[in-house]
Structure 1
Amino acid sequence: MRCSPGSVLNLLRSGRLRSCVRRGRNRLPLWLRKIWLYARLLVQSLCFNTLTDSDVVFDSIFEPVFWTVDYVTRWFGLLFVCLVVILTCSILAIAYMVLLPLILNTYSPPWIAWHICYGHWNLVMIAFHYYKAAKTSPGHLPTEKNDRPFVSVCKKCIMPKPARTHHCGICNRCILKMDHHCPWLNNCVGHFNHRYFFSFCLFMTLGCVYCSISGRNLFLDAYNALETNFQTAAPPYTLKERMIHKSIIYMWVLTSTVAVALGALTVWHAVLISRGETSIERHVNKKEGQRLAAWGKVYRNPFNYGKLNNWKVFLGVEKRSHWVTRVLLPSGHPPHGDGLTWDILPVRKDLIPV
């Protein structure tokens, strides 16, 4: 049986390999002997049998690099989550301590009501969807035996996997309808939390755009005030004035930067959702389309139900009122299907006739 390079780490953790290390007469430290055995196993996998090809060679050579990246990403996941929380809380502190008093003193009552209502609605949507995206399991293969159809066998888990399921090296398990592993969530984005992830990206982008636009004039005033004070050697600001101006500049620069970067990511995922595919499936479908094009055929994504139906399935919209209760308000409803079986386009062309 062929020894896949992806199973090297599992072999390293096995008791059989540990016993071999213990029986060795080498006086090198245990961790160094493990590295030596790991490297030797990689070399042996290159010439294990006649099925070895360029993909196996590439995987074997770069397996240490992949393992290192997975380990670092797994370790830094908690740090990235803390960074998201800290940066978001810093913007909230500036908004409540600096911007809100200015709004209450300078804006008319209708504009005050607008800023307070929209700002808090946006904040609730961001906090809810980030928490759900980070804490909800993306969906894993069931451990018990079942008769559900599968399309391939995972070379890492050595288990049959259904359509749209892929192995995550960081989580070290197969994920249902895997999109990608997000270090900012310290979690995979899959079937059961994909909607939460996209909604978080969308509302965070809207919140950053809102702060950037509404705080533009305050940013220009604060920047000009600091620049004028520096060039004319005017009497120094008080500590409170300097902190207020620097806080406004910090908030505007951070929210504007995140709005551009996260906005581009949100638009890209919106395009993928409209096409009925994930980030991984984008590459798979492109390669499959090129392969069939060489044979004079056209590839069609079997999970593309049309733009509107793709969004209805993704958002879980089953009737018109759900556009408000499930999209514009926090909702913990489950996604369409169980992630193990999927409707194919020729069978059902209109999944949700709303």
Structure 2
Amino acid sequence: MRSWRWYLSRVMRLFLRWFRLCPQRGRRKRQSRVRDLWNYWKVIMKSLYFNVLNNSDTVLDCAFEPIYWLVDNLTRWFGVVFVSLVIALTSSVVIIVYLCVLPIIFSTYPFHWILWHLCYGHWNLLMVVFFYYKATTTHPGFPPQEKSDIPTVTICKKCIVPKPARTHHCSICNRCILKMDHHCPWLNNCVGHFNHRYFFSFCLYMSMGCIYCSISVKDMFLDAYNAIESGRYMGVHAQGEVITDVGLIYSLLPPGDTPGQSYFQTPPPTFTHQERMVHKSLIYLWVLTSSVAVALGGLTLWHALLITRGETSVERHINHKERKRLKLKGKLFRNPYHHGKLNNWKVFLGVQKQSHWLTRVLLPSSHAPHGDGLTWDSPAYRNNTMAI
């Protein structure tokens, strides 16, 4: 039989063990409570914005939403400024060509080259002016606001109206656009179904005109640049030579064996004010047209590639993601609006017979595009599916 001392020592050991564990248990309990509160607030915050379709793109869109809003509003208000800038720059090029380039061509070129420059230059100018006017004044196309029997793909979450196929919402125009490609600030207009051909034709003929001007004025530009570098603008003619008040040149380094010997000679004639203006205008013309030819030419080639594929700028990103998604599943993506490279161009340009290549492509034409922008013809292989 155990004595009371043994029981007392046993109780004391248990009490000391409990006393040592109390701080650890209290700390663990506090940590557990903080963790529970943190998880609780995380659940509350996620419940405000959680969506099963959330991904990194959605998070980035939310983060950059203030920037998007600022860009949309600035683009909407500065559209008029961009259009005015296009008109001003184009007009300046035309004025310089008429006042500076054509007189030189008439006085130095043979007759057949004069005829070529007159015919091609005025044809190119006519195409640029016509298509820019049509691209800026033609509406891109809008889906009907009322309920109709037209097949729709989804509902616009901003307009709360049905969206037909290839229709997307423009945050700058604040409405849905049929076959939307992008919003162009240089047109102050959206590029959509009814003015997509006008936009591309303007880019094409403007690029051709800039390339034509850049090549035609290259020799004139070099002569003007050499004239400015010759020193006959500021009165300095060579290293160590300056014009004196009496109109003579005083040289500190004359030819000869005696350094420092000075002599006087008659200076070469300087350029008149009119000649200087011609030189500066030619340099301005060549630099401007060459820069626009490179920038706008690249944009034109990019849109030509999209037209060849039967896509728009918006659809290119959508199809790229869809192609990657189906590839992981071992399926092949096919663009439902791709009719073949040549047929895509015929549909885009509205070419239905051989004569249309002249009357609708090489000459100004305001014919309507193929279809109404609400329904689209699909190739025979599609069979209402985009993956095989």
**Under TM normalisation by the shorter chain, which class is it?**
0.7 to 0.9
Instruction: Give the letter for the 2:51 counterpart.
Output: L
1:49 CA drift (Å): 5.6
Instruction: Give the letter for the 1:104 counterpart.
Output: F
Structure 2: state its 5+ residue gaps.
1-43, 239-267, 384-388
State the partner residue of 2:251. none
1:347 CA drift (Å): 6.5
Q: Which has the higher helix share?
A: 1
SS at match of 2:230: helix
Larger radius of gyration between Structure 1 and Structure 2 = 2
The answer to whether the 8 Å contact 1:77/1:183 transfers is: yes
1:238 CA drift (Å): 1.4
Structure 1: state its 5+ residue gaps.
1-43, 350-354
Taking the TM superposition and a 5 Å limit, the aligned residue runs for 1:7-46 are none
State the partner residue of 1:51. 51
1:57 CA drift (Å): 4.3
* Distance (Å, rounded) in 2 between the aligned partners of 1:197 and 1:50: 41
State the partner residue of 2:205. 203
* Distance (Å, rounded) in 2 between the aligned partners of 1:345 and 1:169: 32
Q: 1:239 aligns with which of 269, 273, 278?
A: 273
State the partner residue of 2:128. 126
Q: 1:320 aligns with which of 354, 365, 368?
A: 354
1:152 CA drift (Å): 1.3
Q: Please list the CA deviations of residues 141-200 of structure 1 after superposition, one character each: whole Å capped at 9, or x if unmatched.
A: 112321111111111111110111111000000100000000000000000000000000
* Distance (Å, rounded) in 2 between the aligned partners of 1:94 and 1:68: 38
Q: Please list the CA deviations of residues 82-111 of structure 1 after superposition, one character each: whole Å capped at 9, or x if unmatched.
A: 000000000000000011111111111111
* Distance (Å, rounded) in 2 between the aligned partners of 1:193 and 1:183: 14
1:46 CA drift (Å): 7.0
* Distance (Å, rounded) in 2 between the aligned partners of 1:291 and 1:164: 20
State the partner residue of 2:113. 111
Q: 1:223 aligns with which of 207, 222, 225?
A: 225
State the partner residue of 1:160. 162
1:346 CA drift (Å): 2.0
The answer to whether the 8 Å contact 1:288/1:299 transfers is: yes
1:62 CA drift (Å): 2.5
1:236 CA drift (Å): 3.5
Q: 1:304 aligns with which of 338, 358, 361?
A: 338
Instruction: Give the letter for the 1:307 counterpart.
Output: K
The answer to whether the 8 Å contact 1:285/1:301 transfers is: yes
1:45 CA drift (Å): 10
State the partner residue of 1:30. none
Instruction: Give the letter for the 1:273 counterpart.
Output: I
State the partner residue of 1:16. none
Taking the TM superposition and a 5 Å limit, the aligned residue runs for 1:48-87 are 48=48, 50-51=50-51, 53-54=54-55, 56-87=58-89
State the partner residue of 1:32. none
Structure 1 residue 194 corresponds to structure 2 residue 196: yes
* Distance (Å, rounded) in 2 between the aligned partners of 1:59 and 1:308: 37
State the partner residue of 2:37. none
Instruction: Give the letter for the 1:232 counterpart.
Output: H
SS at match of 2:155: strand
State the partner residue of 1:280. 314
The answer to whether the 8 Å contact 2:132/2:199 transfers is: yes
* Distance (Å, rounded) in 2 between the aligned partners of 1:296 and 1:163: 26
Structure 1 residue 346 corresponds to structure 2 residue 385: no
1:48 CA drift (Å): 3.1
Counting aligned pairs with the same residue, the percent is: 65
Q: 1:97 aligns with which of 92, 96, 99?
A: 99
* Distance (Å, rounded) in 2 between the aligned partners of 1:272 and 1:182: 16
* Distance (Å, rounded) in 2 between the aligned partners of 1:56 and 1:274: 31
The answer to whether the 8 Å contact 1:276/1:310 transfers is: yes
* Distance (Å, rounded) in 2 between the aligned partners of 1:288 and 1:312: 26
* Distance (Å, rounded) in 1 between the aligned partners of 2:87 and 2:166: 31
* Distance (Å, rounded) in 2 between the aligned partners of 1:298 and 1:105: 63
1:348 CA drift (Å): 8.9
SS at match of 1:345: coil
Q: How many residues align?
A: 306
* Distance (Å, rounded) in 2 between the aligned partners of 1:46 and 1:125: 56
SS at match of 2:183: strand
* Distance (Å, rounded) in 1 between the aligned partners of 2:49 and 2:276: 70
SS at match of 1:208: helix
State the partner residue of 2:33. none
* Distance (Å, rounded) in 1 between the aligned partners of 2:50 and 2:111: 77
* Distance (Å, rounded) in 2 between the aligned partners of 1:296 and 1:279: 26
> C-alpha root-mean-square deviation of aligned residues, in Å?
1.9
* Distance (Å, rounded) in 2 between the aligned partners of 1:181 and 1:218: 38
The answer to whether the 8 Å contact 2:336/2:382 transfers is: no
SS at match of 2:173: coil
Instruction: Give the letter for the 1:161 counterpart.
Output: K
